[in-house]
Amino acid sequence: MTVDSIAVAVVNHNTCGYLRHCLASVLEEEPAEAIVVDTASTDGSAEMVRREFPGVSLYAVSNRGYGAGANVALTAAQAEYVLVLNADTRLQRGALAALVGYLAEHPEVAALGPCVASEAGVVEHTARRFPTPLELLLQESGLHMVVDARRRRQRSPQRVDWVLGAALALRRDAALSVGGFDESYFMYGEEIDLCLRLRRSRWETHYARIATVFHVGGASTSQRRPEMAAQYVRSTMLLYRRHRRGWEAGLARIVLGLALVARLIRDSVGLLIEHRQPQRQELAERVEAARRALGVVLHYRTP
């Protein structure tokens, strides 16, 4: 299957080393276009792309969030399909051809999630259900791991609600027809929102383990844990306000608040009794992250 109908777009923020490996794997696949949207990195990412990958189209933009960066690539691309990637990913050989083949054979599909796995080969659960208070409770309590283990055993292609945006193949015209990614979400939730709007426009989202993308996870967000924890809560609340009923949004807020209080108590106690410096630093970051996120829950106002 030819790959001249798919572009690969990588959204990057301060992950220069990962971006280098990602682009090397992308160019081995010979896509129609390779695009990097660098969101005001300060680690030399843009300079590295210019120097080492002159054939890659580079867009150096201000940091208005992941969705805004992905929209730059969707607008700039000319190919029929666009694979949007996090910078801390790496394509397995043959991934692009498999994705193109699947999308060509399924014209009803606008968004397609491949198999996403750690470098050790552990498959991530990336095909998920649209948000409900119950789904949020499972996620925040850790009980989702039991449910995810059962879902992860499903190997055949399937129609799903949404797939993780770390590796998301899009039918470009379909994505643009619903407005692309909603740039109200700075980080987290933008792919859920897009899949919801695609569903309402009668497009389908599929998950198919026909191609593998290796993913480190958190390479950029882990550099700013408290800020990203607050962004997660802000995006989650926005998603519920936009797409669920009022009582569901209220219940989601309660679930988030209780989960964060429990996390804050657990990690504060751990900080009191832990004496090893690396573990204390980790706990201190988690405490600050929980505080920042809880502040968003308590003072959230709908944009």
pLDDT of residue 53: 98
One domain for residues 164 and 89: yes
Q: Are 174 and 110 in contact (CB under 8 A)?
A: yes
Of the candidates 231, 294, 223, 217, which has an alpha carbon nearest to the alpha carbon of residue 263? 294
pLDDT of residue 147: 60
Among candidate residues 160, 191, 219, the one where a domain is terminated: 219
What is the DSSP code string of 170-235? EEHHHHHHTTSS-TT-SSSSHHHHHHHHHHHTT-EEEEEEEEEEEE---TTGGGGHHHHHHHHHHH
- pTM, whole model, 2 decimals? 0.90
Q: Answer yes or no: is 1 within a domain.
A: no
One domain for residues 192 and 286: no
One domain for residues 18 and 164: yes
Among candidate residues 196, 219, 242, the one where a domain is terminated: 219
Q: How far is residue 218's CA from residue 13's CA, in Å, rounded to a whole number?
A: 11
One domain for residues 182 and 279: no
pLDDT of residue 303: 55
What is the DSSP code string of 224-276? GHHHHHHHHHHHHHHHHHHHS-HHHHHHHHHHHHHHHHHHHHHHHHHHHH---
Among candidate residues 171, 188, 219, the one where a domain is terminated: 219
pLDDT by position in tens, the chain (length 303): 578 999 999 999 999 999 999 999 999 999 999 999 999 999 999 999 999 999 999 999 999 999 999 999 999 999 999 999 999 999 999 999 999 999 999 999 999 999 999 988 889 889 999 988 888 888 887 766 666 655 556 678 999 999 999 999 999 999 999 999 999 999 899 999 999 999 999 999 999 999 999 998 766 656 678 888 999 999 999 999 999 988 999 999 999 999 999 999 999 999 999 889 889 999 999 999 999 999 989 887 655
pLDDT of residue 155: 72
Of the candidates 80, 84, 91, 101, which has an alpha carbon nearest to the alpha carbon of residue 2? 101
Q: Are 119 and 216 in contact (CB under 8 A)?
A: yes
**Which residues, listed in sequence order, are joined to residue 162 by a DSSP beta bridge?**
128
pLDDT of residue 221: 57
Q: How far is residue 283's CA from residue 155's CA, in Å, rounded to a whole number?
A: 37
CATH (domain of 63): 3.90.550.10
Enclosing domain of residue 149: 6-219
One domain for residues 27 and 173: yes
pLDDT of residue 227: 87
